[in-house]
């Protein structure tokens, strides 16, 4: 493992690093993943709680479900993996986090350049985007159990997250493509590589000759294209990788 960590550190010691993260990044903060056998979608039907159709059928249920998610997320703390990703900014000239997560834990850990592909549970918007995409509205209090109307048009408001069947926010997606194109290496942490189009960014990086390092405790679709795979959780392996990079810099 030591040799593997050292090789990964050499690959990631670049002027511009992209860190691409999924739900496994936040698992050690006590937040469930989505697609694991015990994940969120094993207990809740995504078409009921994460689709425009589900929201139209039962807006109150969806609203309350996301309030509970927000409460869980606000009670969680960034884990050692989040903190190690943030600390990479002290070693490398440019670090960009591209995340599929909606929890905001990267920002709370101190990461300054974060692109949220799937939105944020901490933001709300008009369900009709009456003043442009997105039309952001005030974030409700956690005791607000009834859906609030948009202050501009009266339509119901909803979390500013990407649901099944919806497009990723164009501005964020285009920025992510630019970052993948400009970087020299990508560190992939805690994602199965199954959720599209987000996962296509990893293959785009591979096709453009970027170095790829993966951290994940389980086999993934990315294993076969990563130059180094570090088996373990985000909270275990990311700090170890950070330490290897610190040692590399100390030896220079």
The per-residue pLDDT for range 19-59, each reduced to its tens digit, is 999 999 999 999 987 665 555 655 667 788 889 999 999 99
Q: Is the pLDDT of residue 142 over 90?
A: yes
Taking only the tens place, the pLDDT of each residue in 57-111 is 999 999 999 999 999 999 999 999 999 999 999 999 999 999 999 999 999 999 9
Q: Are residues 6 and 19 in the same domain?
A: yes
| Arithmetic mean of pLDDT, 219-237 | 96
CA distance 205 to 187: 11
Among 140, 163, 151, smallest CA distance to 63 is for: 140
Residue 40: the pLDDT is 62
How far apart CA 96 and CA 166 sit, in angstroms, is 24
Lowest mean pLDDT among 110-114, 174-178, 189-193: 189-193
pTM of the model: 0.94
The parent domain of residue 41 ranges over 35-75+124-161
Closest CA to 190 of 249, 238, 127: 238
> Same structural domain for residues 133 and 190?
no
Long-range contacts of 59-62 (CB under 8 A, 24+ apart): 59/147, 59/156, 59/158, 60/145, 60/146, 60/147, 62/158
Give the phi and the psi of residue 215 in degrees, each rounded to 5: -120, 120
Cα–Cα distance measured from residue 117 to residue 87, given in angstroms and rounded to the nearest whole number: 22
pLDDT at 35: 60
Are 133 and 187 found together in one domain? no
Share of the chain above pLDDT 90, in %: 89
CATH code, domain carrying 157: 3.30.1600.10
Residue 184 sits in the same domain as residue 63: no
Q: For residue 47, what pLDDT is reported?
A: 80
Domain-terminating residue out of 135, 161, 187: 161
State residue 194's pLDDT score. Answer: 87
Residues 131 and 214 occupy one common structural domain? no
Mean pLDDT of all residues belonging to the chain: 94
**Is there a single domain that holds both residue 236 and residue 150?**
no
Same structural domain, 190 and 241: yes
pLDDT at 181: 97
Q: Would you please indicate which residues are annotated as catalytic (active-site) residues?
A: 118
How confident is the model at residue 221, as a pLDDT? 93
46 and 106 together in one domain: no
Tell the burial category of 21 from Cβ atoms under 10 Å away from its Cβ (0-12, 13-18, 19+).
buried
What total number of domains does the chain contain? 2
C-alpha dist (Å) from residue 128 to 106, 131, 135, 205, 232: 29, 9, 8, 34, 42
Confidence of residue 136 (pLDDT cuts 50, 70, 90): very high
| 180-185: average pLDDT | 98
Check the CA dihedral 136-196-68-237 and report its sign.
Answer: negative
Distance of alpha carbon 231 from alpha carbon 145, whole angstroms = 41
Distance CA 131, CA 152 (A): 8
User: Is pLDDT of 188 > 80?
Assistant: yes
Model pLDDT, residue 68: 92
């Amino acid at each position: 493992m030591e040799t593997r960590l050292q090789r990964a550190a050499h690959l990631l010691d670049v002027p511009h690093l992209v860190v691409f993260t999924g739900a496994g990044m936040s698992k050690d903060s006590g937040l469930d993943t989505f697609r694991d056998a015990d994940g969120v979608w094993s207990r809740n039907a995504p078409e009921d709680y994460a689709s425009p159709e589900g929201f139209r059928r039962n807006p109150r249920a969806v609203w309350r479900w996301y309030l509970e998610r927000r409460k869980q997320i606000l009670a969680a703390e960034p884990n050692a993996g989040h903190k190690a990703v943030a600390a990479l900014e002290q070693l490398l000239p440019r670090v960009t986090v591209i995340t599929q997560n909606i929890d905001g834990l990267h920002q709370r850990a101190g990461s300054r350049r974060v692109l949220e592909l799937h939105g944020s549970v901490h933001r709300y918007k008009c369900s009709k985007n009456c003043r442009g995409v997105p039309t952001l509205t005030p974030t409700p209090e956690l005791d607000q159990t009834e859906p609030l109307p948009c202050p501009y048009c009266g339509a119901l408001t909803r979390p500013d997250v990407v649901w099944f069947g919806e497009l990723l926010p164009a501005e964020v997606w285009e920025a992510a493509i630019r970052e993948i194109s400009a970087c020299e290496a990508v560190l992939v942490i805690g994602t199965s590589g199954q959720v599209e189009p987000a996962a296509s960014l990893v293959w785009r990086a591979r096709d453009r000759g970027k170095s790829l390092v993966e951290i994940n405790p389980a086999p993934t679709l990315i294993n076969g294209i990563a130059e180094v795979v570090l088996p373990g959780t985000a909270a275990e392996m990311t700090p170890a990788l950070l330490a290897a990079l610190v040692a590399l810099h100390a030896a220079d």
